[in-house]
């Protein structure tokens, strides 16, 4: 059974299970604090491909292939794929998954994509619209730089509040039965725009959207922060994370205490890896959730957590036209085994 609770939250009473997941990353992410947790570390950022965009596609496909292999499944065994990425017209995804032949719903949620795809896959399996669904996303530092900033060759300088787009991809396989962490609910975010125009400060732009969605989840389901072990955002970075905790306390009267973590501050050693405010990109939270946190949910170390994917929904065109940054955050509640 599926139930809408309030305006944003969908409760999944059949508790669809994440039966397998995988995170694959590039060299820099492999050298970070979570390096040993990822399923594969590709030391060649080009992935033997002729362009950064093709490399990103190969990375997303590698994540899906690895998750399927872990579940001992073939692409034909899945009947739905929810995926997207940061690139214009989502070519990281469409070229990455085209050979798989899985019925496909393309998403655009910027860095919130893993939460969006996981939630949609969970809802589909919960209500019988899919028997086995795949949720996936990717990002690549070099394709994102070309898409959003400047070609690498330009050697652009990055301000301290900037985040580093992770070269990473994550994928999860969801089905009704089977062993694995359960998806309890999905809270869809509303677009928030607080007028931030600095495309180098996306953590600050996205923090209000994360606060809004966390507040909706708790209010609509009558829960409090104490009902969860962790609130994991992806990816606010160091500056956005501080803002989120303050905003929740001041505007929403919600105290996360020490329960907040952010994938963007976890994937790199911020002090040593020169990533300024931390990691970002769809693949950052996707790879961290699909490895590090899935293991903790599987081992029982985490009983219940909220994964809040946050996305900045601007483009270079909108920024060049002087527009502010609309943002969105989606929250998936995951329950350990």
Is the CB of 127 or the CB of 337 nearer to a copy of itself?
A: 127
User: Is there binding between residue 129 and a copy of itself (CB under 8 A)?
Assistant: yes
Cβ–Cβ < 8 Å for 327, 180: no
Nearer to a copy of itself by Cβ, of 299 and 316: the residue is 316
103: left (phi over 0), alpha (psi -120 to 50) or beta: beta
Among 53, 175, 235, 262, binds a copy of itself (CB under 8 A): 53
Residue 303 in contact with a copy of itself, rule: CB under 8 A: no
Sequence-distant (6+) residues with CB within 8 A of 162 are 200, 201, 276, 277
Selected range binding a copy of itself among 64-72, 108-116, 248-256, 259-267, rule: CB under 8 A: 108-116
Cβ atoms of 192 and 160 closer than 8 Å? no
Residue 235: cis peptide before it, omega within 30 degrees of 0: yes
Q: According to the binding rule CB under 8 A, does residue 226 interact with a copy of itself? A: no
Minimum CB distance to a copy of itself smaller for 112 or for 265 = 112
The per-residue DSSP string of 56-77 comes to HHHHHHHHHHHHHHHTT--GGG
Rounded CA gap, 67 and 38, in Å? 12
DSSP H or E run through 233? strand 230-234
205 in contact with a copy of itself (CB under 8 A) = no
Query: Is 8 a binder of a copy of itself (CB under 8 A)?
Result: yes
C-beta of 269 vs 324, nearer to a copy of itself: 324
Closest to a copy of itself by CB, 27 or 98: 98
321 touches a copy of itself (CB under 8 A): yes
Q: Verify binding: residue 332, a copy of itself, rule CB under 8 A.
A: no
Paired tokens of 41: 């570390």
Q: Which stretch binds a copy of itself (CB under 8 A): 99-107, 159-167, 244-252, 284-292?
A: 99-107
- Contact with a copy of itself (CB under 8 A): which of 45, 225, 318, 335? 318
Whose Cβ is closer to a copy of itself: residue 94's or residue 161's? 94
- Regarding 48 and contact with a copy of itself (CB under 8 A), the answer is no
Residue 307 token pair: 């994964």
Can you say how many angstroms the Cα of residue 109 is from the centroid of all Cα atoms in its chain?
9
Q: How far apart are CA 196 and CA 86, in angstroms?
A: 20
The helix-helix angle for 141-148 and 52-70 (nearest 10°) equals: 140
Which stretch, 47-55, 198-206, 240-248, 280-288, contacts a copy of itself (CB under 8 A)? Answer: 47-55
Candidates 124, 141, 164, 228: give the one binding a copy of itself (CB under 8 A): 124
Which helix H or strand E contains 26, and what residues bound it? strand 17-26
Q: What is the dihedral of CA 124, 127, 131, 134, to 10 degrees?
A: 20
Residues binding a copy of itself (CB under 8 A): 1-4, 7-8, 10, 50-51, 53-54, 79-80, 84, 86-91, 94-95, 97-98, 100-110, 116, 120, 123-124, 126-131, 147, 188-191, 193, 313-318, 321, 323, 326, 328
């Amino acid at each position: 059974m599926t139930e809408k609770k309030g305006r944003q939250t969908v409760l999944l009473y059949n508790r669809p299970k994440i039966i397998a997941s995988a995170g694959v990353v590039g060299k820099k992410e492999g050298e970070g604090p979570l390096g040993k947790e990822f399923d594969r570390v590709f030391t060649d950022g080009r992935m033997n491909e002729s362009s950064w965009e093709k490399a990103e596609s190969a990375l997303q496909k590698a994540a899906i292939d690895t998750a399927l292999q872990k579940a001992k499944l073939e692409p034909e065994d899945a009947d739905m794929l929810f995926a997207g990425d940061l690139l214009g017209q989502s070519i990281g995804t469409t070229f990455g998954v085209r050979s798989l032949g899985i019925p496909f719903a393309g998403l655009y949620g910027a860095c919130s994509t893993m939460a969006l795809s996981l939630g949609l896959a969970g809802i589909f399996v919960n209500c019988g619209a899919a028997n086995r669904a795949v949720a996936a996303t990717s990002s690549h530092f070099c394709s994102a730089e070309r898409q959003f900033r400047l070609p690498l060759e330009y050697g652009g300088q990055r301000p301290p509040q900037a985040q580093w787009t992770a070269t990473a991809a994550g994928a999860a396989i969801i089905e009704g039965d089977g062993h694995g962490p359960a998806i309890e609910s999905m809270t869809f975010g509303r677009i928030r725009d607080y007028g931030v125009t600095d495309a180098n400060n996306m953590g600050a732009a996205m923090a209000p959207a994360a606060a809004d969605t966390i507040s909706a989840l708790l209010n609509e389901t009558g829960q409090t922060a104490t009902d969860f072990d962790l609130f994991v955002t992806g990816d606010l970075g160091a500056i956005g994370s501080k803002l989120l905790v303050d905003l929740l306390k001041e505007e929403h009267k919600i105290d996360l205490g020490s329960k907040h973590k952010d994938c963007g501050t976890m994937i790199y050693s911020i002090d040593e890896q020169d990533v300024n405010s931390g990691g970002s990109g769809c693949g950052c939270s996707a790879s961290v959730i699909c490895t590090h946190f899935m293991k903790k949910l599987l081992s029982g170390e985490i009983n219940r957590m909220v994964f809040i994917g946050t996305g900045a929904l601007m483009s270079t065109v909108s920024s060049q036209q002087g527009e502010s940054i609309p943002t969105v955050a989606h929250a998936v509640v995951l329950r350990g085994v």
